[in-house]
Amino acid sequence: MNYNTVNQLKDRLSYFFFEKEFSGPRLSVLGLLLIPLVAYPSLADYQNTATVSASSDQFESDTTNNSDTVQVTPNAEIVIVKEVVNNNGGNLVVGDFGITTNAGALTFDSGTTVGDTTTYTSTKLFVVPGTYTLVESDVIGYTEGVWSCIGDGTLTKTDFDDGELVLATGESAVCTISNDDIGPQVTLAKTLTNDNGGDLGLANFNLQIAGNPATNLTPQTVAANTNFVISEDLDAGYTSTPWACVDGGGLTITFADNGDGTANLNVPPGADVTCSITNDDIAPTLMLVKNVDNTNGGSATPASFDLSISDPLAASPAISGVAYQVEANNPITISETPLAGYQEGSWVCTDANAQTPVADLPGGGVAGLATGAIFSIKQGSAVTCEITNTAQGVDLTIAKGVDDSTPNVGDTITFTMTVSNAGPDLATNVEVTDIILPGFTYVLGSMTGGTTQDESDPTGAGLNWDIASVPVGSPVVLTFDAVVNAP
């Protein structure tokens, strides 16, 4: 910024030039202050004339050289006052701004600090009237201000038209520049991907800047040249990239990702930093494990039961012991085909990653649940559902008796059969057959016991009883009547 100062010097003038620098960005150019100090054409107050004259009784032939005048032109004075305001974490001092002038070498004192402002005053420079420049290197991170000047006379805005400062005779001026600080800003840019059924939103990750809650894509002002932490809450159901931080203006920042959702950061004044992170939901997996207990003589294998997972990403039928990727937070039905002769167990599910609450998983069901258990699992889960089917083992016996073992020909006698089960399992769908031999004639309608009876072919297929179940230790009694034939 340039100022041409036309000074109509009459008195000895002193000039003070003030500039404030505030932490914040500014352009990388040189600031120029032009200070013309021009002698006033009639400086009568600084002229001194001596006169010589002869006595009255003498005659002087040439009086043109009887006086002589000495012109004194006082030097002007220049004092530069530099103010640096570091109220946003800046730490620069007067020497960082490279202030120079063609009026002479500048020497600044050590400065006086009040609050965030440090004021530096140069030693006084004495200069002859003329034009002088002040040069300061603009520093990134500090804003450029506007010069204003005051003097010992009255100055109005018109005195600064076209960059010229005009002072009347006898005036001196103090020129000040004020700068507004711009604190560095940090913006968190979070990308959240839920392409596997994940149900978390941005708010679930608790973004923070320097311990303060942060909103995605919203800048937040921080202190410059100060260590602070940016963070998010990690979730085991989501992958997380490291933090990546860059400054939009190419400033150098100090940055280190810690691998735990946090990063350490230190930024200079005027920085505009964006820190990015991406979280992606982890597809859960589901594995069915089929156990078959053939201790009681069965021969089935896990493949005999046709395991099923309703999610389209799983195989059909599902293979026991193979983990399948499924969609999170979507109802899934797991089932198997029941097999005769085998007692169905109950699904017992666990999550190796502890993402899905235990209460939301099948685990305490009853027999028969295997044909259709419905539940959903969270992102990042690794669920295993196990079921055991046991071959049913029974030990059936039958004991037959008669109410009269020495009957007469033509007598009607009653036969009794007792069916027992020694276990270990409940006997189901038991069938009993008794063929009527030629020595007897079956009495129609005399069959008792069991669930159903068939007397359609007593001498061929025989009498048939179907017994739905025979519990262990609870025998079932069957009877029928026959007439004794002659030999």
What would the two tokens of residue 86 be? 């570091």
Q: Quick one: how many helices (H) and strands (E) in the chain? A: 0, 39
pTM for the complete prediction? 0.66
pLDDT of residue 475: 96
Structure token pair of residue 76: 């002007």
pLDDT at 104 over 90: no
| Cα gap 122→78, rounded to integer Å | 9
Q: Are 355 and 380 in contact (CB under 8 A)?
A: yes
What is the rounded distance in angstroms from the CA atom of residue 384 to the CA atom of residue 381? Answer: 10
Counting residues of the chain whose pLDDT is more than 70, the rounded percentage is 81
Residue 418 in contact with residue 477, Cβ under 8 Å?
Answer: yes
Q: Each residue of 337-349: pLDDT tens digit?
A: 888 888 888 889 9
Q: Is the peptide bond before 41 cis (omega within 30 degrees of 0)?
A: no
pLDDT tens for residues 268-296? Answer: 999 999 999 999 999 999 999 999 999 88
Q: What is the CATH number of domain 396-484?
A: 2.60.40.1170
Amino acid at 426: L
Residue 11's pLDDT is 41
Is residue 3's pLDDT more than 50? no
Q: Which CATH number fits domain 185-281: 2.60.40, 3.30.390, 3.40.50, 3.30.43?
A: 2.60.40
State both tokens at 289: 């494990």
- In the predicted model, is pLDDT for residue 159 greater than 50? no
Write down the domain spans for the chain: 4-42+72-178, 185-281, 285-391, 396-484
**Which of the four pLDDT bands, split at 50, 70 and 90, describes residue 34?**
very low
Task: Let me know if the fold of 185-281 is the same as that of 285-391.
Answer: yes
Cα–Cα dist 324/22, whole Å: 61
Query: What pLDDT, on a 0 to 100 scale, did the predictor assign at position 43?
Result: 55
CB 460 within 8 A of CB 434: no
Any idea what DSSP says for residue 225? T
- What is the model's pLDDT at position 177? 60
Domain 285-391 bears CATH identifier 1.10.287: no
Q: Which pLDDT tens digit goes with each residue over 420-457?
A: 998 888 888 999 999 999 999 999 999 999 999 999 99
Residue 46, phi then psi, degrees to nearest 5: -110, 25
Place of tokens 């006379």: 153
Confidence at residue 38, expressed as pLDDT on a 0 to 100 scale: 42
